[in-house]
Amino acid sequence: MNKPLILRALGLVLLCEAGAMLPSLGIALYFYEKAFMAFAFSIVALTLIGLPLSRNLVTNSDVGYREGFMIAAISWILLALFGALPFIISGAIPGFINAFFEAMSGLTTTGASVLKDIESLPKSILFWRSVTHWLGGMGIIVLTLALIPSLKIAGLKLFRAEVTGPDKSKVLPRVTQTSRELYKLYTIITVTEIVALKIAGLSWFDSFIHTFGSVATGGFSNYNSSVAALNNPAAEYIIIFFMFICGMNFTLHYYALRGNFGPLWRDPEIKLYLAVTLFACLFISINLITIMDYQIGSALRQSAFQTVSILTTTGFATADYTLWPTFSQGVIFLLMFIGGCAGSTSGGIKVVRYLILAKSSFRQVAKLTHPKAVIPVRLGRSVVPDELVENVQTFFFLYFGLLFLSTLIITAMGVDLLSALSAVAACLGNIGPGFGIVGPVSNFSAIPEAGKMVLAICMLVGRLEIYTILVFLSPRIWRA
C-alpha cells in the first residue's frame, strides 16, 4: 500500500476544508459573532494537521484502486469529524454525536438535521452548514483533484471512488481536466442561481444558503419551515429548475454548453428521469385537487416542488406532505427509492440503474423462450457490458439488504417502523426528510444517539455508493 500518497492526499483534502471555512470566519467577524473563535480554532487545527501530511514525498508511482478507495473513505470520515468542530466549539450543536451527524448530513448532501430551532443559530454557523453541502455535492476529492495537479498520479482511482453512478467515465482525457471542467460548470450554475434568487427578491444571504442546498441537492435551509418560509412563488420555481438540472448528469451539461445537444436528447436516462418527474407531478396534482380541493396552480406548484425535491434527494419542503392524501404520500415514498441521474449531485439508487435492471430482466425473460439467443442489454446506442449489469444487480441487493438491516436496528431502539424505515431510506438515499417523527416539518432529534450514528454511517455509505465503504472495510485492503 502506498502510504505516502494516501497521507499526502488526506493532508491536501484537510487543507481544502480549512480554506472552505474562511468565508464563514469572515461572516463571523463581520457580524461580531462569538463563533469566529470556533472557526479560527478549526482552521488552525486543520492547517497544523493537513500541512505536514500534504508535504509527504511521493516517490512510488505504482498506485492501484486500493489506494483510491482508502483515500475516499478516510477523507469523508475526517471531513465530517473536523467539519463538526465549529458546531461543537461554538455550542451551536451540543454533543459530539449530534454535531458529527449534522456535519455528515451536510457533506453527504443528505439534509437531515437534529436542530430544532435553526433560526436561532449564528449566520456564520448557518453558512458553514450550507457550505458543507456545496463541498459534498460535486465531491471534495474531485475538488482536490481540480486544485492539485500533482495528484494526477492517482487521479482516476480517486475519481472513480467518489463519483456517483455505475459508469465512471471521464469528460476529457485527463482526470484533472475533467475535475476542473466539472467544477467550473458547478460554479457557473451556482452563481447563476444566486443571482436569480436575488432578483426574485431574496436577500444575498438567503440566496447563497438556498443555492448551496439546490445545486448540491442537499436541502439545508436557514429557516425552520424550509423554503415555505420564503413565501415566494418565483423563488420556488427557480429552486425547482435548479434542483432538476442538478439532478441530471453533469457530463451532458458540459457537452450542451459547448453546443453539442445530441447526447442530452438521446440519453435514455434523461428521458426516464423527465417522465418520472412529469407523471409524479401529474398524479399528485390530480390527487390534491380532487381530494383536498387545492386550486390548480397551487397543486401544480406544490406537487412539482416536492416531486423534484424528493426525486433529486434535495429535501427542501414547501408543504407537509405527511398531511396529503395517502396516494400522494405513496408516490413521495416511492420517489425516495429512485434518486436522480448518474453523474449528478443527487443521491439515491439512480435512474440509470433501474433502466439497466429492467432491461436485464426483460433479457432473462426472453432467454427463457430462446435459450441460445444472444441478447445484449442496450442503453440507447451503447451495449452495456455484462460486468456492469452484474454490478447493478449486486448494488440493488446490497442497497436493500442494508436498508432492511439498518431499519431493524433502529426499530430495536424503540423507534416506530414507519419512522425507522423512512429515516434509513432518507439517510441511505441522501434525501433528508422522511415520514413519522422525521417528517418534513420535524427533525432527527428524537432518534437515539446510537441510532444517529447508524444513520450517519448510512449517509456515508449512500454517498459513496456502498462499494467504496465495503472495500475499505475488507480485510484484504489492509494487507501488505
Per the annotation, binding residues for K(+) are 109-110, 218, 313-314, 430
Task: Take residue 424 and report the three cell numbers written for it.
Answer: 434509513
Contacts of 470 (CB under 8 A, 6+ apart): 398
Q: How far apart are CA 70 and CA 293, in angstroms?
A: 54
Residue 165 gets which letter from DSSP?
S
Q: How far apart are CA 184 and CA 190, in angstroms?
A: 10
Residue corresponding to grid cell 432538476: 244
Neighbours of 400 (CB within 10 A): 13
Task: Take residue 186 and report the three cell numbers written for it.
Answer: 458547478
Q: Convert 177-187 to b/e letters by CB count within 10 Å (16 or more is b).
A: bbbbbbbebbe
Of 182, 179, 159, 149, nearest to 67 (Cα)? 159
Q: How far apart are CA 297 and CA 300, in angstroms?
A: 5
Of 75, 67, 207, nearest to 140 (Cα)? 75
Angle value at C-alpha 74, between 220 and 478, nearest 5 degrees: 155
Of 192, 69, 216, 213, nearest to 136 (Cα)? 216
**Residues annotated in the binding site, as ranges?**
109-110, 218, 313-314, 430
- Residue 379 is inside which H or E element, if any? strand 377-379
Query: At 377, is the secondary structure helix, strand, or coil?
Result: strand
Q: How far apart are CA 217 and CA 338, in angstroms?
A: 14
Backbone angles phi, psi at 379, to 5 degrees: -120, 105
Q: Under a CB-based contact definition with an 8 Å cutoff, are residues 204 and 232 in contact?
A: no
